[in-house]
Every structure is written in C-alpha cells, then in structure tokens.
Amino acid sequence: MPNSAPACPQCTLENTYPEGSNFVCADCGHEWPMAQAAASDDEDDAVVKDSNGQTLRDGDAVVLIKDLKVKGSSTVLKMGTKVKSIRLVGGDHEVDCKMEGGSFMLKACFLKKA
C-alpha cells in the first residue's frame, strides 16, 4: 500500500504518517498540520515558464536574456550566461541557481530554456 502522507517538509524523507490532525516524520520527528500539507500541494501545481513560454523544471539549463544587476552589489550577470541545474522555488523569484559569482534567485521572465 503506498504512503498517502506527503514527504517531510523539514528533512524531505517520505517516512511519514498521519497522527490525529498532524503528519509526523518518523525520521526527524517533525510534526506539521494536515491543513498546511494540503496548501503546499496546491503550490506545487504552479507552473513556471521562461520568457518564451516554455515550462521550466528542476535541473534544467537556462540562459540569461539580458544583463541583470545584483541588488546590493556591483556585480552584473551578463546576457547569454548559461546556468545549469536550476531549482524552482516559491515566491516572486522562482528560480534558485548557483553561478560563478555565488548563489542567486532569479525571475523566470529573464531566462530562456537552453
């Protein structure tokens, strides 16, 4: 029988079970309300699209379509820079990535799928 409980939001392991009105992770002991788990499932359904309308997924490679100034720094991310292995996150900056200059959170509208 497959486990109907979602993966733990803290340790991301799937060894979880329902207990009362909460889910419990057997590995790390983290407990969270079932209502919160249902809300996070809705957020996972959000589709992130690049500047050309192509759907982005975790692990995709993308290219910057314009120069981007890094807030609070004199660094500029140059147009045409290829970014490998992106990670999709929630919020107004949908893409989390690591580049030569460090880790950055980028908006998908400034990216195109490589």
Domains for the chain: give ranges and CATH numbers: 1-45 (2.20.25.10), 62-113 (2.30.30.40)
With a CB cutoff of 8 Å and minimum separation 6, the contacts of 61 are 82, 83, 84, 85, 86, 113, 114
Would you call 50 exposed, middle or buried from its count of C-beta atoms within 10 A (0-12, 13-18, 19+)? Answer: buried
Kind plus residue range of the DSSP H or E element containing 36: helix 34-44
H or E element, residue 39: helix 34-44
Q: What is the pTM for the complete model shown?
A: 0.59
Q: State the 10-residue block means of pLDDT for the chain, 114 residues long.
A: 70 84 87 69 69 92 94 92 91 89 91 93
Residue 33: both structure tokens together: 């309300």
